[in-house]
Amino acid sequence: MAHCLNLKPSTLQLVQYTASLPMVAKPLYGVLSDVLYIGGARRVPYISVGVLLQGLAWGSLAIFPGAREVLPSLMAFILLSNLGASITEVSQDALVAEYGLRYQINGLQSYALMASAVGGILGNLLGGYCLLKTPPRILFLAFTALLSLQLIVSLSSKEESVNLPRIGEVTPEISSVLGIVKKQFLDLKGIVQVDEISQPLIWIVSSIALVPLLSGSVFCYQTQVLNLDPSVIGMSKVIGQLMLLCLTVVYDRYWKKLPMRALIHIVQLLYAFSLLFDYILVKQINLAFGISNTAFVLCFSSVAEILAQFKILPFSVLLANMCPGGCEGSITSFLASTLCLSSVVSGFTGVGMANMIGITSKNYSNLPAGILIQSLAALVPLWFIHYVPMLEPGFEREGKRAMSKKSRRNRRVGRVIGQESFAYRRERET
């Protein structure tokens, strides 16, 4: 989009965040995944559907030149790809949450993030190599081939392999599909209105939405003004994913038992200061210390992005521990949807700020001021950090040894969704 279609920085960023809109509808996909079974399963089939949509989108971009060289058709296929990706992500997150609840594995999401980081490393290495050696069409073909492999694996996989239950008999009162979906949305509404869930959710969403991102302007500055090769930026993503992998391992082994509020407070501070790395690059302060632009981008360009991703992990673990059985897809998809919506708001706000202060493809003189505004905005969520709980519920319950295992589970479920849903869960377990 930047090199072949010659999009302006603000237009590039606007297009990128508009393409994320299908992910805002993740709660709908999550509810459908919770209540509508396909072939006796409710997670793996949806993964296959999402992968198929992605394969169709990227295969079309690879085969048909007109699809990738005209912005409207390119946007249509990217929206289709992100629709498939959102369905797949919802099903994968729900699968992880359901498995963790069923076998009482606290913090299983950290292992999923480790696997995602490894995938990010391999994917960015492949992408960087293809950008150096081949045109974009070959990269699209390679991605289509990987999606085809994933489709084959998901079609040949069964949920029984991870001991998840198959569909049972549906009671006549909720046999209608619309009735099931409506009931699941009502359950979801009741869950997210509880303070233990709503307050952390408000904080993490606000911490993203309040920061006006200038990612499009920074990318165009790096490639057009500093003349950095896109493969360098791709390699910086590899180093960033390595950092994310290390942070996740350390979190799982050591930081998971720390007070959650203190951990998030430190991460948010680091995120606010890491945004200033772009300021150092734009002002060329790194050259005064003998650090080349290429080396600086490789080492520091992805730090803020990785901290923003890592910050979500404790909240994912928190909500996964508190969601009742049967609502895993609804809860995880609602979290993902709100996070995506906050990112879209952040991106659109960044576009507005860039236009307001006069950042264009020919004039980057006000880019340092925009980066400083970003960093200051990232400090605002610290004013209401009390919305973040001190401890995650899983570790809080571990300390209360006087309560039986069954009592703790009943207390958690009753606190989250009330007596009616608790009765519904007991009926399901029976």
How many Å apart are CA 329 and CA 334, to the nearest integer?
A: 8
Under 8 Å between Cβ of 429 and 329 = no
Phi, psi (rounded to 5 degrees) for 41 = -130, 160
Can you tell me the distance from the alpha carbon of 85 to that of 67, in angstroms, rounded to the nearest whole number? Answer: 19
Q: CB neighbours (10 Å) of residue 116?
A: 18
Residue 368 reports pLDDT greater than 80: yes
Could you state, in order of their start, the residue ranges of all structural domains in the chain? 9-164+190-388
- CA dihedral 367→370→372→375, nearest 10 degrees, is -120
CB 117 within 8 A of CB 244: yes
Q: CA 145 to CA 137: how far, in whole Å?
A: 12
Q: What is the mean pLDDT of the chain?
A: 82
Q: pLDDT value at position 408?
A: 45
The answer to whether the beta carbons of residues 377 and 210 sit under 8 Å apart is yes
Measure the CA–CA gap between 241 and 303, rounded to whole angstroms: 10
d(CA 88, CA 94): 10
Compare 402 and 218 and report the one with higher pLDDT: 218
Rounded Cα distance between 139 and 131, Å, is: 8
- 247-273 burial code (b ≥16 CB/10 A, e <16): bbeebbeebbebebbebbeebbebbbe
Q: What percentage of the chain exceeds 90 in pLDDT?
A: 31
Considering only CA atoms, which of 4, 48, 266, 31 is closest in space to residue 157? Answer: 48
pLDDT at 351 > cutoff 80: yes
**Cα gap 241→78, rounded to integer Å:** 23
pLDDT tens digits, one per residue of 264-278? 999 999 999 999 999
Would you say residue 170 has pLDDT above 50? Answer: no
Name every residue whose Cβ is closer than 8 Å to that of residue 133 and which is 6 or more positions away in sequence.
none
Bridge partners (DSSP) of residue 363 are: 360
Q: How many residues does the chain have?
A: 430
Would you say residue 168 has pLDDT above 50?
yes
- What DSSP assignment string belongs to 360-414? BTTB-TTHHHHHHHHHHHHHGGGGGGGGS-SS-HHHHHHT-TTS-HHHHHHHHHH
- Classify the C-alpha dihedral 48-155-317-248 as positive or negative: negative
Domain 9-164+190-388 fold: Growth Hormone; Chain: A; (1.20.1250)
How many beta carbons lie within 10 A of that of residue 24, not counting itself? 18
pLDDT (tens digit per residue) in 297-331: 998 988 999 999 999 989 988 887 777 766 666 77
Q: Report whether pLDDT(289) > 60.
A: yes
Return the top range by mean pLDDT from 19-33, 105-119, 260-274, 360-374: 260-274
Cα 406 to Cα 15: distance, rounded to the nearest angstrom: 50
